[in-house]
Amino acid sequence: MLDVQLVHTLVHGSVVCCVRFSSDGKYLATGCNRTAQIYDTRTGAKICVLMHGKVGDLYIRSVCFSPDGKLLATGAEDKQIRIWDISKKRILRVVDGHQKEIFSLVFSLDGRLIVSGSMDETVSIWDMANADVPPKVLTINDPHSFSGDAGVTSVAISPKGQFVAAGSLDAVVRIWDVATGHLVERLRGHRDSVYGVAFTPDGKGLVSGSLDKTLKFWDVSGLLLSGNANAVAGAGASEGSSSSSSSSSNGASASANGTKKVTGPGTTGQQDVFVKRDGGKKIASPCTMNFTGHKDYVLSVAVSHDGQWIVSGSKDHGVQFWDTRSAVVQCMLQGHKNSVISVDLSPTGGLFATGSGDWLARIWSYGPL
């Protein structure tokens, strides 16, 4: 079991849309209406305020430190990404390209790339070293999308920078190969929009959180094994093109559209798998665990630096700590008085942060009892 203690309560002037630690864990950035703030995680002191305009509402949906801690990227409702020099409190670069508001940003671990996800149904990969290089735009072109709206709510980049994952309003998690821009995996299983995605530190797992009140753990190790530069088999054409299916003696059935349902022993019951052919070999990313317990929408997910814990924030005002190996809840927190919109775990361990609709961000400590 876990011992969790409230360390700092950080009062804001509006809804806290996002929280994110620096790579050394010394600082926490938050985004709210018109401003991004940076706090010292040890003292709780506000050390920096970055103003985004002076009139009207402009919610900062996403914040992200560069790995060296010198820059802060912010994504907002005005479709722009701003790159700030933290020490000088000024904008170094404004990145334009999205057609709708930006919901999610992440730096690659080497600081070379920024990945952005937008309601315009695209993920963009930006080169930070060369502002003249146009972004690599990953477009969701899916005529068989469940809802018809595939706005991107959340993005994550794998630890070695090979893959980008995105959760979207159409309940699908998609994974692209960064080098080629090819879609390499389409993970179906959630019953409502996916609002959070996070890779595990070893890059072999992916966690997603959804408005269906659940989290899922996907085994994406097959992508690493394949050295993947190939697109999903028939990605666009195969979906829905045929309804024929085949069954095997182990209870698995594979349809011609590449989706396989697996029923068998274990904690997950039915697993949703997208099967991809790579040089004649089938690569699959099964959902190996379902995390159930939240009473309302799951709005954010994060994985600890050691891969041991998954943290989720929900519209039920709660935060839940889950054991990554068993999907069992280890701790439930009810400190906020409104939706927990954003959660993040310190890359150095021992702390996590929450941002809420109650106009508060909080920093908590965690450790074994």
Write down the pLDDT at residue 369.
85
Contact (Cβ atoms closer than 8 angstroms) between residue 220 and residue 324: no
Nearest residue to 4 via CA among 283, 300, 351: 351
Residue with tokens 């990953």: 138
Alpha helices in the chain (DSSP H): 221-226
Three-state DSSP state, 148: coil
Contact (Cβ atoms closer than 8 angstroms) between residue 103 and residue 75: yes
Residue with tokens 């972004």: 135
5 CA to centre of own chain: 25
Average pLDDT over residues 308-328: 97
Cα diameter, the chain: 65
pLDDT at 12 over 50: yes
pLDDT tens-digit profile of 314-323?
Answer: 999 999 999 9
Three-state DSSP state, 345: strand
| Confidence bin at 97 (pLDDT 50/70/90) | confident
**Cα(361)–Cα(302) distance, rounded to whole angstroms?**
16
80 CA to centre of own chain: 19
**Cα(200)–Cα(198) distance, rounded to whole angstroms?**
7
| Confidence bin at 313 (pLDDT 50/70/90) | very high
| Confidence bin at 234 (pLDDT 50/70/90) | very low
Q: Can you name the CATH fold of 2-222+284-368?
A: Methylamine Dehydrogenase; Chain H (2.130.10)
135-149, 208-222, 325-339, range with the lowest pLDDT: 135-149
pLDDT tens-digit profile of 26-55?
Answer: 999 999 999 999 999 999 999 999 998 767
Write down the pLDDT at residue 236.
32
**Cα(77)–Cα(57) distance, rounded to whole angstroms?**
9
Give the tokens for residue 194.
């996916």
| Confidence bin at 247 (pLDDT 50/70/90) | very low
The CA-based dihedral angle spanning residues 258, 120, 195, 355, taken in that order and rounded to the nearest 10 degrees: 160
| Whole-number percent of the chain with pLDDT over 70 | 82
Average pLDDT over residues 67-83: 94
pTM listed for this prediction: 0.85
Write down the pLDDT at residue 219.
97
pLDDT at 239 over 60: no
Write down the pLDDT at residue 238.
27
Between 332 and 147, the higher pLDDT residue: 332
Write down the pLDDT at residue 9.
98
Average pLDDT over residues 66-86: 95
DSSP designation for 369: -
pLDDT at 91 over 70: yes
Contact (Cβ atoms closer than 8 angstroms) between residue 309 and residue 330: yes
How would you classify the pairing of strands 194-199 and 90-95? unpaired
Q: Between vectors from CA 355 to CA 354 and to CA 361, what angle results, nearest 5°?
A: 85
Contact (Cβ atoms closer than 8 angstroms) between residue 160 and residue 200: no
